[in-house]
Amino acid sequence: MDAKRRQWREPTKLFINGRWEAPKSERFFETLNPATEEVLARVSEAGAADVDDAVRAARKAFEEGPWSKMVPKERGRLVAKLADLIEQNADELSEIETLDTGMPYGMARYGLIPTAADIMRHSAGWADKVYGETNPVDPAFFSYSLREPVGLCAGIIPWNVPLTMAAMKLGPALALGNVMILKPAEQAPLTCLRFAELVREAGIPDGVINILTGLGPNSTGSFLANHPGIDKVAFTGSSEVGKEIVKSSSGNLKRVSLELGGKSPNIVFSDADIEQALAGAIPAFTAHCGQICFLGTRFFVQQEIYDEFTARLSEMTSGIKVGDPFDKDTQLGPLITREQHERVAGYLKLGVQEGAKLRVGGDAKPKDRGYFVAPTVFSEVKNEMRIAQEEIFGPVATITRFKDEHDAVLQGNDTAFGLAANLWTRDAGRAHRVARALKAGTIWVNCFGFPDAAASFGGYKQSGYGRELGKHVVETYTQLKTVCVKL
């Protein structure tokens, strides 16, 4: 495939006000191909002056430009055009996504890039479907409420599924009349830069979307979070950085929405369809090498089927093919960076030290080159162990035993996170009881689920606040204004 030979010969630039600009900071960093450890591109680091330029351009686009004054359905048409262009360029975007993040090509091409287009198109529909209200006040007055855009939003996103994350931020923000400065993660910024060209092709007015590559702390990310000229930060990333964002945003009391980390319980009752549960269990800890926030990596299996489930999951895991993400047989690509590889390797050691039983995997370096790690299953895990409590972000399953429904809920909820949960049972009453009892933003019953553009997604507890997707995203990117008229 040509993409494997793709090179970015010149350093990439910043996308500000519809143009490519060299960074005033004159600083650059590198992004690597995690499967080969080769440098893919030198990337601009937006400094304070570059962020100021983007803020000025976006503010102008919002206050004076055509975006907020546009007929809503026209705005929707332009956002939908972005969806069309993602689809038309899906092969290339998928190749770049695979090169930069290491995700298997099939996952990008048939999963996450089409999902980015879906989210964009679904979001576009909001442009002309948000209604105001009339308020039942004293009849001597006419009072109504308008739902208006928040204004200039910063979208700060992680590296795991960059274009999908970009669509989750840009689609609804734009459709609802906001403008945005998007900051991709430093580890995988390249699809967002290719997307910037599509922004121009779609005819989105200058300044409405600005894309600033850069680093996080004391760099582009924190300049955005602290900037007094920005009205809102929509952040997806770790809970740790989420807390920093909240602190940084306090200067001008920016609106903040947070999609943070997870460590989702995956509860298998003895009355479950075991074949179905096992089939769903594999992607639940190995998809994108375990680097997806909502994965159900923390298994709780009822004692009657514990031994059978554990043995069979371990056997299935041993057959997983790890390797070149462009190879169509590959199920597991590499982790994103050397640093992440070291973290995951540390957890593999820690699991054994904590007294869990290593059933399969544990090999932190199955290949000479690339940040690969073997998919790993630990059994006899106690819920208080660090491997069961901390977000590993690698292909590591922990399996803990439980007695009954009460015990499953108690242990499942015993975590700082609350992004999602999975449960497997044939008993319909139990399915709904447990779904209610689990403290998480999304519950998947008898399926390995993925977020859907039409269903709200977000966290309980330290997995964040605010909702993306579904109809509740409207609250995330709008504010209410009441108008009262004396009659």
Site string for Mg ion, 12-51 (x = CB under 5 A): -------------------xx-------------------
Residue 73 Cβ vs ligand NAP, minimum distance, rounded to whole Å: 29
Closest by CA position to 261, among listed 396, 383, 103, 419: 419
Residue 226 Cβ vs ligand NAP, minimum distance, rounded to whole Å: 8
Q: Quick count: other Cβ atoms within 10 Å of Cβ 321?
A: 12
Residue 215 contact, options ligand NAP, Mg ion, none, Cβ 5-8 Å cut-off depending on partner type = ligand NAP
Residue 31 contact, options ligand NAP, Mg ion, none, Cβ 5-8 Å cut-off depending on partner type = Mg ion
Q: Quick count: other Cβ atoms within 10 Å of Cβ 59?
A: 18
Q: What is the DSSP string of 82-140?
A: HHHHHHHTHHHHHHHHHHHH---HHHIIIIIHHHHHHHHHHHHGGGG----EEE---TT
Q: Torsions phi, psi of 453, nearest 5?
A: -55, -25
The set of catalytic residues is 259, 293
Cβ–Cβ < 8 Å for 234, 257: yes
Tell the residue number behind the tokens 């102008």, with chain if given. Answer: 60
Q: Cα 19 to chain center, whole Å? A: 27
The β-bridge relationship of strands 209-211 and 141-149 is unpaired
User: Between the CA atoms of 453, 459, 465 and 466, what dihedral angle is there, to the nearest 10 degrees?
Assistant: 20
Cβ proximity to ligand NAP, 192 vs 272, nearer residue: 192
Cβ proximity to Mg ion, 14 vs 453, nearer residue: 14
Cβ–Cβ < 8 Å for 156, 236: yes
Residue 100 contact, options Mg ion, ligand NAP, none, Cβ 5-8 Å cut-off depending on partner type = Mg ion
Q: Quick count: other Cβ atoms within 10 Å of Cβ 250?
A: 11
Residues with Cβ within 8 Å of residue 247, at least 6 apart in sequence: none
291 binds Mg ion (CB under 5 A): no
Residue 221 contact, options Mg ion, ligand NAP, none, Cβ 5-8 Å cut-off depending on partner type = ligand NAP
Residue 440 Cβ vs Mg ion, minimum distance, rounded to whole Å: 30
Residues with Cβ within 8 Å of residue 69, at least 6 apart in sequence: none
97 binds Mg ion (CB under 5 A): no
Cβ proximity to ligand NAP, 256 vs 360, nearer residue: 256
213 binds Mg ion (CB under 5 A): no
Residue 134 Cβ vs Mg ion, minimum distance, rounded to whole Å: 51
Give the Cα separation of 70 and 161 in Å (integer). Answer: 31
Q: Which residues share a beta bridge with 146?
A: 481
Residue 461 Cβ vs ligand NAP, minimum distance, rounded to whole Å: 12
Closest by CA position to 34, among listed 96, 102, 98: 102
Cβ proximity to ligand NAP, 85 vs 165, nearer residue: 165
Give the Cα separation of 41 and 23 in Å (integer). Answer: 15
Cβ proximity to Mg ion, 31 vs 219, nearer residue: 31
188 binds Mg ion (CB under 5 A): yes
Residues in the site for ligand NAP, rule: CB under 6 A? 156-160, 183, 185-187, 215-217, 221-222, 225, 236-238, 241, 244-245, 259-262, 293, 391, 393, 419, 459, 464
Residue 225 contact, options Mg ion, ligand NAP, none, Cβ 5-8 Å cut-off depending on partner type = ligand NAP
Cβ proximity to ligand NAP, 41 vs 408, nearer residue: 41
Interface stretch with Mg ion, choices 92-100, 251-259, 442-450, 465-473 (CB under 5 A): 92-100
Give the C-alpha distances (Å, rounded to integers) separating 104 from 6, 107, 130, 285: 17, 5, 38, 15
Residue 98 contact, options ligand NAP, Mg ion, none, Cβ 5-8 Å cut-off depending on partner type = none
Give the Cα separation of 256 and 236 in Å (integer). Answer: 11
Residue 293 Cβ vs ligand NAP, minimum distance, rounded to whole Å: 3
100 binds Mg ion (CB under 5 A): yes
Residue 189 Cβ vs ligand NAP, minimum distance, rounded to whole Å: 9
Residue 188 contact, options Mg ion, ligand NAP, none, Cβ 5-8 Å cut-off depending on partner type = Mg ion
For the chain, counts of helices (H) and of strands (E): 16, 20
Cβ proximity to Mg ion, 188 vs 420, nearer residue: 188
Cβ proximity to ligand NAP, 158 vs 351, nearer residue: 158
Interface stretch with Mg ion, choices 3-11, 183-191, 215-223, 420-428 (CB under 5 A): 183-191
Residue 484 Cβ vs ligand NAP, minimum distance, rounded to whole Å: 39
Residue 428 Cβ vs ligand NAP, minimum distance, rounded to whole Å: 29
Structure token digits, residue 8: 């970015």
Residue 355 contact, options Mg ion, ligand NAP, none, Cβ 5-8 Å cut-off depending on partner type = none
Give the CA angle between residues 324, 103, 33 to the nearest 5°: 65
Residue 238 contact, options Mg ion, ligand NAP, none, Cβ 5-8 Å cut-off depending on partner type = ligand NAP
Cβ proximity to ligand NAP, 401 vs 467, nearer residue: 467
- The residues of the shown chain that bind Mg ion, judged by CB under 5 A, are 31-32, 100, 188
